[in-house]
Amino acid sequence: MVELLGEDGQVIGNQPKATVHTTDTPLHRAFSVHLVAPDGRVMLTRRALGKVTWPGDWTNACCGHPAPGESDVEAIHRRTATELNIPADAVGAPRAAIPGFRYRAVDASGIVENEVCPVYVADLLVGPADLPAPNPEEVMDVAWAEWPHLREALTTVPFAFSPWLVRHVETPVLDELLVR
């Protein structure tokens, strides 16, 4: 279930996730998280080709929808385990980077994303070589980049990335949190 939101950001109901993303998607609650390796590189994931929206696009480490009543931090740990097979004890405490992030974007198929989607940063407590393979139904590839290089790619070839990740660079706070 996904929590539906009014224009004021307050929860107004719930809807099954399988039915919420359409050509007329209602505003709903989500999250994005950037995972940072001990060496300072940022994880990028390439969305599996079976994803409903933006299949095959590169994006931040993990995104998802908190269940009704679930905190963003609980949802981050649940989704990093589901999508990336990373256990909660391998992810440091998520820090809110862009708490009020909201976006609306339309996929080439016409499916709309319409989300209040706070952006978090969390440190990985293990190195990339120690991570298991991600869930192939969610992620088809993983890459690691230094934030300045990723930032440049996002502004140079935005079409290769999810629209929410491209919009993340509009907020300079990530520059402060992701440059080591």
What whole-number distance in Å separates Cα of residue 51 and Cα of residue 113? 13
Is 115 annotated among the ligand-binding residues?
yes
Say whether 117 is catalytic. Answer: no
Structural tokens at position 142: 């993983």
**Bridge partner residues of 42 (DSSP):** 36, 145
Is 21 annotated among the ligand-binding residues?
yes
Q: Are 119 and 168 in contact (CB under 8 A)?
A: yes
Q: Are 27 and 19 in contact (CB under 8 A)?
A: no
For the chain, the helix, strand and coil percentages under 3-state DSSP, each to the nearest 5: 25, 30, 40
**Exactly one of 62, 115, 117, 138 is catalytic; which is it?**
115
Say whether 7 is catalytic. Answer: no
Q: Are 120 and 32 in contact (CB under 8 A)?
A: yes
Sign of CA dihedral 44, 47, 53, 58: positive
Q: Are 140 and 56 in contact (CB under 8 A)?
A: yes
**Exactly one of 62, 63, 117, 138 is catalytic; which is it?**
63
Residue numbering of the annotated binding site for Mn(2+): 21, 28, 65, 113, 115
* Residues forming the active site: 63, 115
Residue numbering of the annotated binding site for Mg(2+): 83
Residue numbering of the annotated binding site: 21, 28, 65, 83, 113, 115
